Structure formats: structure tokens, C-alpha cells
């Protein structure tokens, strides 16, 4: 006897940024948990462990020191990519403006950095295309295990068209701010 297939699949509810923010204000999320809105789905983020936290702290200090003239560093805060996506990258280098009326959008961003220890596959497969599709000019993935920095540039609807891998002994710069670089070694010190 053959099993009968259901007539249709259940419908998933795709949340908007507005609904997501309202849920946060209403206290629906456990205060100790961290979430992101990715393509309308609420994703629970992994706890931050060490060395991830140490590298984020180091990068935060390096970026603030080297790029303060051009940008502000926004660590682990929301980035409003679209009506259905508001991830929380590890670091965002945001253009300086007099007054901001909400979370930064791709037009405000000079650089997004994801520090990947246990989330490398997710960051490459899910978040990277999301940033490219939204028009984020440059994204760096700091691969903690391999001690290297992957630089993704020239965004498009199908992903980034330019990829460069930088290892210890090399430096990486921000396209929007020529002439200022970070050595890969200092990120992992």
C-alpha cells in the first residue's frame, strides 16, 4: 500500500523587520539569547566563545584607531539590509553622518566583518550572499581556524565577483578608504 502525499506543504510565515523589532520590544525573546532576522526567518545565533570574542575586540580597537577619521565601528549591532533581513555582523564600519535615524543600511556601510570560528559555512553560504545582494560593497570573513582573512568585493545579485584570501604575513585594506591597512598577523595576536 502506497502512502498518500499531502496536498500541499505548510506555509511558513516570513517575518518583516518591523514585526521582528516589535517582538523584541514586547519581550518575546529571552534576554540572554541573541537572534538575527535572515530572509524573514528568525535565527538563533551561537554563543560567543573565545577566541571569537578576542578577535572581535582586537578588530574593534584596530578599526576604531585606523578608520576613526572616516567611519564609526558598530560591533555586533543590527544592519538593516531589507524589509526581511536584519543580521548582526560582528563588526560594521559605518560612514560618519551627523545624525542617524535608525540602524545602518547598505548605503551607510563601508565594510562588514564576520569573525567565523564555528559559523564559517553559514557565513559563506547564507550571510555572504545576503550582503552581496543588498549591495554591501565589501565583506571580510575572518577564518579563525585557518588564521586568514577572506575579502569579498564587487557585490551583485548572484554574490561577490572578487575574492582575495590573505594569510599571516599579508595585509588587507578597505576599498572605500585607500592607503590604510590591517595586517592579518595583528588580527590574530
Looking at residues 49-57, what average pLDDT do you find?
A: 95
**Is the full-model pTM beyond 0.85?**
yes
Nearest-10 Cα torsion for 47, 49, 54, 60: -10
| b/e code 34-69 from CB counts within 10 Å (16+ = b) | ebbbbbbeebeeeeeeeebeebbebbbebbeebbee
Looking at residues 88-114, what average pLDDT do you find?
A: 93
pLDDT at 2 (0 to 100) = 72
List pLDDT tens digits, range 137-152. Answer: 999 999 999 999 999 9
pLDDT at 131 (0 to 100) = 98
Question: What's the CATH number of domain 49-187, 3.40.50.2300, 3.90.1570.10, 2.40.30.30, 3.30.565.10?
Answer: 3.90.1570.10
User: What are the extents of the domains in the chain?
Assistant: 49-187
pLDDT at 96 (0 to 100) = 87
pLDDT at 6 (0 to 100) = 66
Question: pLDDT at residue 1 above 70?
Answer: no
Question: pLDDT at residue 86 above 70?
Answer: yes
Amino acid at each position: 500500500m502506497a502512502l498518500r502525499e499531502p496536498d500541499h506543504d505548510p506555509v511558513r510565515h516570513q517575518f518583516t523587520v518591523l514585526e521582528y523589532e516589535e517582538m523584541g520590544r514586547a519581550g518575546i525573546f529571552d534576554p540572554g539569547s541573541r537572534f538575527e532576522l535572515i530572509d524573514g526567518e528568525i535565527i538563533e545565533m551561537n554563543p560567543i566563545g573565545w577566541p571569537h570574542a578576542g578577535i572581535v575586540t582586537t578588530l574593534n580597537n584596530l578599526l576604531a584607531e585606523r578608520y576613526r577619521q572616516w567611519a564609526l565601528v558598530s560591533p555586533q549591532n543590527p544592519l538593516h539590509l531589507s524589509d526581511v533581513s536584519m543580521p548582526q555582523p560582528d563588526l560594521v564600519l559605518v560612514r560618519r553622518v551627523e545624525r542617524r535615524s535608525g540602524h545602518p543600511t547598505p548605503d551607510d556601510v563601508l565594510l562588514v566583518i564576520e569573525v567565523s570560528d564555528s559559523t564559517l559555512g553559514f557565513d559563506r553560504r547564507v550571510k555572504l550572499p545576503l550582503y552581496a545582494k543588498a549591495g554591501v560593497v565589501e565583506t571580510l570573513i575572518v577564518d579563525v581556524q585557518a588564521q586568514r582573512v577572506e575579502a569579498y568585493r564587487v557585490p551583485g545579485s548572484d554574490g561577490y565577483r572578487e575574492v582575495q584570501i590573505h594569510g599571516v604575513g599579508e595585509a588587507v585594506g578597505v576599498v572605500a578608504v585607500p592607503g590604510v591597512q590591517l595586517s592579518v598577523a595583528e588580527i590574530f595576536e
